[in-house]
Amino acid sequence: MRFLYNLLTYLLFVPFAVYWLVRGVSNRVYFDRLYQRFGFGFPRIDGCIWIHAVSVGEVQAAEPLIRALIARFPDRQLLVTTVTPTGAARVRALFGESAQHCYIPFEFPSAVNNFFRSVSPETALIMETEIWPNLYRGCGIREVPLILVSARISPKSVPGYGKLLPLIRETLSHGIIIAAQSQDDADRFLSLGANPSRTCVMGNIKFDVKPDSGVRDIAVVTRKELFGDRPVWIAASTHEGEEQLVLDVHRDLLVRHPDLLLVLVPRHPERFAAVRELIEKRDMTVISRTEQRPAGDAEVFLCDTMGEVPLFYAASDVAFVAGSLVPIGGHNLLEPAALGVPVITGPYNFNSQDIADLFESLGACRIVSGTDELGEVVSELLTDSEEAERLGRAGQQVLEDNRGALERLLVLLEPLLNTGN
């Protein structure tokens, strides 16, 4: 099975290369250190703590862990790898010179081997969801302890992994410790062949993420400068096909709330220009964040910058967390909840169904079935300040009640990391 898997990775070499080059033409950041993706030009690092976080969301989730590691092990080198350039930018913004960054290589055996020739990690921490047979085997062969942090597998993913069950079982046999988000996640890993003695439920470290202490104060000033006294709702991390739906909802809301402003935040920066064009084609007035001027009478404020989602969540009256009106699987409900902003999400939350279910069961968010209900709930929360405040407080309470995964994880990691002292 591994032979067939490796053969497939090499057969996909050309399509992968073409895909990345095409993306680079439309967004040149994808050319950033492209050679690393194919196994070349890695920094030489011995004995580092290695954290892998795919993109922006995983980097944000890993922030409290990385900061705790920097504080507890100031003499250790930290390497953070990502897949996306946006993730790389977030690593630089959050940690500066405190952590090194490189891109994770594609799963070609030669690329993975080249990575390990340059990088000799003492411990590997992989955030959340990824199972990479060659990468994990590389850790196993080199006896590098590997921990899946806040590990999760959606029910939708299990059948796909099941088609490669012999390979997945072998992959999970390399001494991997699985620190699962929930018992359901742990059970799914066990069904794929994880070792029960090395599988435990740690909780979700996203609950331990705390907003920057000054973000609310900055948001008050930003809102006054950019939006004046207008009511504001935000649709954050939208995807292709979803912006159209959100704009339709906003157009209907303007009938009832003529001064209402929509802050629209596309998930991927390469789509900023296309989303602006879409707004203009809908004959809606728009101001972009990069124009560095107030929204004025514009109907839509397009956030076409990176790293400012928390600021604009805090500057909004109502937050819709996107990726959930279309079958993407939803995004991070905890980020706006931590700021006390009332949270709405759509019907597709399978990426973090446990969190969505928890929030709904405790009355800490609204899950809408579609665009009609989304418009109704946004309108309700704009006019019913008591319900909006209650929803915001409930979200903050859910986070407070579920903190602690980070400390449990550090207790697990301490013996592994202290062996290098």
Q: What is the pLDDT of residues 202-246, one digit of tens each?
A: 999 999 988 887 899 999 999 999 999 999 999 999 999 999 999
**Per-residue pLDDT at 417:** 84
Q: Residue 419: its pLDDT value, please?
A: 61
Same domain, 57 and 120: yes
| Whether residues 167 and 286 fall in one domain | no
Contact 118, 88 (CB under 8 A): no
Q: Indicate if 198 and 72 belong to the same structural domain.
A: yes
| Active site annotation includes 225 | no
Marked catalytic residue, from 58, 63, 128, 299: 58
Query: For 78-90, what is the mean pLDDT?
Result: 93
Q: Are residues 177 and 285 in the same domain?
A: no
- Its domain, for residue 244, covers 215-401
Question: Is 182 part of a structural domain of the chain?
Answer: yes
The pLDDT value given to residue 289:
98
What contacts 24+ positions apart, CB below 8 Å, involve 166-173?
A: 166/1, 167/1, 167/2, 167/5, 167/133, 168/131, 168/133, 168/192, 168/193, 169/193, 170/1, 170/2, 170/133, 171/131, 171/132, 171/133, 171/136, 171/137, 172/131, 172/136, 173/140
Q: What pLDDT digit, counting tens, does each position of 131-146 carry?
A: 889 999 999 999 999 9
Residues 192, 279 share a domain: no
In a shared domain, residues 394 and 251: yes
CATH number of the domain encompassing residue 100? 3.40.50.11720
Do residues 154 and 30 both lie within one domain? yes
pLDDT at residue 54 is higher than 50: yes
> Cβ distance 280 to 286 under 8 Å?
yes
Question: What's the pLDDT tens digit per position in 246-265?
Answer: 999 999 999 999 999 999 99
Q: Looking at the 3D structure of the chain, how many domains does it have?
A: 2
Is the pLDDT assigned to residue 26 strictly greater than 80? no
Model-level pTM? 0.86
Please indicate, yes or no, whether residues 224 and 360 belong to a single structural domain of this protein. Answer: yes
- Provide Rg for the chain, Cα atoms: 22
